[in-house]
């Protein structure tokens, strides 16, 4: 099979997915959680056994405490009470962006250093950016249709996916490097093609075990981490896809373009 012959198709599929994600983001935006918007999310169990969930946006400390006092007066049990002041959200966004950028740059440098070529670093980073966009887009869509919120845990999931995606990509790249060393004369797309086939079962099996673990977490792990697990699932599936169908084809394209430039000279 000549997988690399269809490289434009893979990039097209990714493009379509990312564009529909961006459409979702523009059309509906994100449903930001209380961590970003500020406000109160509280859950009370009333003496009658009835559970009540409260959500307020943009509340001052005094207003938040008033609500709490009200429920306390009714002898309700506090199951959880989250109050976030208006100043916290913007700070969190800044710190998150910093963390994302710092991680991405460090990973790019590490891959570039390890494979002694910037093209490996950049291809791997583009694949992880691809996964971030897929994750962001899917949460705009999940948010609109199922009420999934973008909160603190989502941010954690996003950073984890960054490393997971690179994990997969590195395994593929590693094989390419090894095959390049051992075989001479084979065209580069052929080497990439072979490397992908050789690591394919591993990539699928590893993703499958991780997906198994995440599915049990999704079913049995409780309400509060449900969307966190969904975010990880989306990221892992996208990460497996992007390592095989983005990072490797990008390497081939890069090689072709620089070969063309060389022949022009």
Q: Which of residues 142-161 bind another protein (CB under 8 A)?
A: 152-153, 155-156, 159-160
Residue from 5, 58, 183, 209 that binds another protein (CB under 8 A)? 209
Quote the distance between the C-alpha of residue 5 and its chain's center.
28
3-state secondary structure 175-215: HHHHHHHHCCCCCHHHHHHHHHHHHHHHHHHHHHHHHHHHH
CB closer to another protein out of 24 and 241: 241
Closest separation in Å from C-beta 22 to another protein: 25
Tokens 């999934």 locate to 148
* DSSP, residue by residue, 1-64: --GGGGHHHHHHHHHHHHHHHHHHHHHH---B-HHHH-EEEEEEE-TTS-EEEEEEES--HHHH
Binding residues for another protein, rule CB under 8 A, total 72
**Which of 48, 74, 184, 224 is the binder for another protein (CB under 8 A)?**
224
Residue 254 · residue 123 · CB < 8 Å? yes
Stretch that binds another protein, among 6-14, 16-24, 218-226, 247-255 (CB under 8 A): 218-226
Q: How far is CA 85 from CA 58, 71, 90, in A?
A: 7, 20, 11
The verdict on 244 binding another protein (CB under 8 A) reads no
Q: Is 194 in the site for another protein (CB under 8 A)?
A: no
Identify the bridge partners of residue 54 per DSSP, sorted by sequence position: 42
**Residue in 75, 181, 222, 264 binding another protein, rule: CB under 8 A:** 222
| Cα 236 to Cα 256: distance, rounded to the nearest angstrom | 29
Using the rule CB under 8 A, give the single segment among 4-12, 24-32, 138-146, 207-215 that binds another protein: 207-215
Closer CB to another protein, residue 98 or residue 258?
Answer: 98
Q: Which of 214, 233, 244, 247 binds another protein (CB under 8 A)?
A: 214
Given the complex with another protein, which of 25 and 88 has the nearer CB atom? Answer: 88
Binding segment toward another protein, per CB under 8 A, in 12-20, 186-194, 220-228, 255-263: 220-228
Q: Within 10 Å of residue 81's Cβ, how many Cβ atoms?
A: 15
The answer to the question of residue 201 lying near another protein (CB under 8 A) is: yes
Binding mask 78-117 for another protein (x = CB under 8 A): xxxxxxxx-xx--xx-xx--xx--xx--xx--xx--x---
Minimum CB distance to another protein smaller for 111 or for 252: 111
> Strands 39-45 and 77-84: what pairing?
antiparallel
Chain positions 19 to 78 lying near another protein, rule: CB under 8 A, are 43, 45, 61, 64-65, 68-69, 72, 77-78
Q: Which helix (H) or strand (E) holds 113?
A: helix 88-114
Q: Of all helices (H) and strands (E), which one includes residue 70?
A: helix 61-73
Closer of 25 and 67 to another protein (Cβ): 67
- Token digits of residue 3: 């997988």
């Amino acid at each position: 099979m000549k997988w690399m012959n269809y490289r434009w198709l893979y990039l097209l599929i990714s493009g379509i997915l990312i564009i529909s994600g961006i459409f979702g983001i523009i059309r509906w935006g994100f449903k930001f959680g209380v961590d970003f918007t500020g406000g109160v999310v509280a859950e009370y169990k009333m003496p009658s056994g009835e559970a009540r969930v409260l959500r307020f946006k943009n509340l001052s400390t005094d207003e938040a405490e008033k609500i709490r006092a009200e429920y306390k007066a009714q002898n309700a049990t506090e199951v959880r009470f989250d109050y976030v002041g208006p100043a916290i959200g913007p700070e969190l966004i800044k710190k998150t962006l910093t963390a994302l950028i710092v991680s991405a740059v460090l990973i790019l440098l590490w891959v570039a250093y390890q494979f002694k070529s910037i093209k490996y670093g950049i291809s791997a980073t583009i694949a992880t950016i691809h996964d971030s966009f897929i994750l962001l887009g899917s949460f705009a869509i999940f948010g609109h249709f199922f009420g999934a919120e973008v909160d603190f845990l989502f941010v954690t999931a996003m950073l984890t996916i960054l490393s997971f995606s690179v994990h997969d990509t590195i395994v593929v790249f590693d094989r390419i490097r090894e095959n390049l060393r051992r075989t001479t004369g084979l065209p580069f797309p052929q080497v990439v093609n072979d490397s992908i086939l050789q690591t394919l079962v591993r990539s699928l099996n590893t993703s499958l075990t991780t997906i198994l673990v995440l599915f049990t977490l999704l079913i049995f792990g409780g309400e509060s981490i449900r969307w966190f697990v969904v975010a990880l699932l989306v990221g892992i599936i996208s990460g497996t896809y992007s390592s095989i169908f983005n990072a490797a084809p990008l390497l081939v394209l890069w090689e072709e373009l620089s070969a063309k430039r060389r022949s022009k000279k």
